Amino acid sequence: MSKENWINEKCKEIEQQRKHAPQTMYRNIEEITGKRTFFSTGCIKAMNGDIIIDKEKILERWAEYIRELFKDDRKDHNIMKNNFAGPPIMKEEVETALKKMKHGKATGPVNISVELIEALEDFGIGKVTHFLNEIYDTGQIPTDLSKSIFIALPKKPGATECEIHRTISLMSHITKILLKIIMLRIRNKIKPEIAEEQCEFVEDTGT
């Protein structure tokens, strides 16, 4: 296994361990960076190459980098005025989305996990279904659900450039369920349009 692949595998483990196995997570971080910190040097480079050591300015630099990384470069943002309302979200769709989600993931800004929803069984699934339908009907996602927590893990010890870090995004599990449902609906719409010759690239389809 190459060093880059090894680091990627360790980062995936760290993401899973953040919530349920913090001690193991810290050991893995130390194994990757050589020190017990995400910022192994305690500093980061500004866009102009200057070294930043002030904690607040380091956070500002990371916010600047994340905005640049995910900015939308499209010139035109066409707003569709047609009514594209679809059928209400069903409990069965929530159940399917839950089955496709991995366990042991960090919960992000909202401390509600997949495991908690599953433990509440029909009651929990019903509450989530009702809540998601409110979002679906209004088109308004609550602020907490639209936020993500970004964690930066250096790809190599002593990294000072933002680009030499792997950014992990921790998103609310409720948001993940909604996105999973929308994705599955889209997939069901486009799947009949995909030719048999392309079946290798379609989930649950073999050659």
Residue 149's H or E segment, with its range, is strand 148-154
Q: Please report the pLDDT score of residue 96 as a whole number.
A: 94
Roughly what angle, to the nearest 10 degrees, separates helices 121-138 and 91-100?
110
CB 99 within 8 A of CB 184: no
Beta carbons within 10 angstroms of residue 98's beta carbon: 19
pLDDT tens, the chain, 207 aa long: 566 677 667 777 777 766 666 667 666 666 665 544 444 467 889 989 899 989 899 999 999 999 988 887 777 666 666 666 778 999 999 999 999 988 888 888 888 889 999 999 999 999 999 999 999 888 889 998 988 888 888 888 788 899 999 888 888 999 999 999 999 998 888 877 777 666 655 666 655
What local confidence, expressed as pLDDT, does residue 4 receive?
Answer: 64
Report yes or no: 151 and 173 within 8 Å, Cβ to Cβ.
no
Q: What is the pTM of this model?
A: 0.65
Contacts of residue 78, defined as CB under 8 A and 6 or more positions apart, other chains included, come to none
Question: Measured between alpha carbons, how far is residue 81 from residues 15, 147, 179, 207 in Å?
Answer: 40, 26, 22, 41
Interatomic CA distance for residues 202 and 207, integer angstroms: 10
Instruction: Check residue 80 and give its pLDDT.
Output: 62
Residue type, 160: T
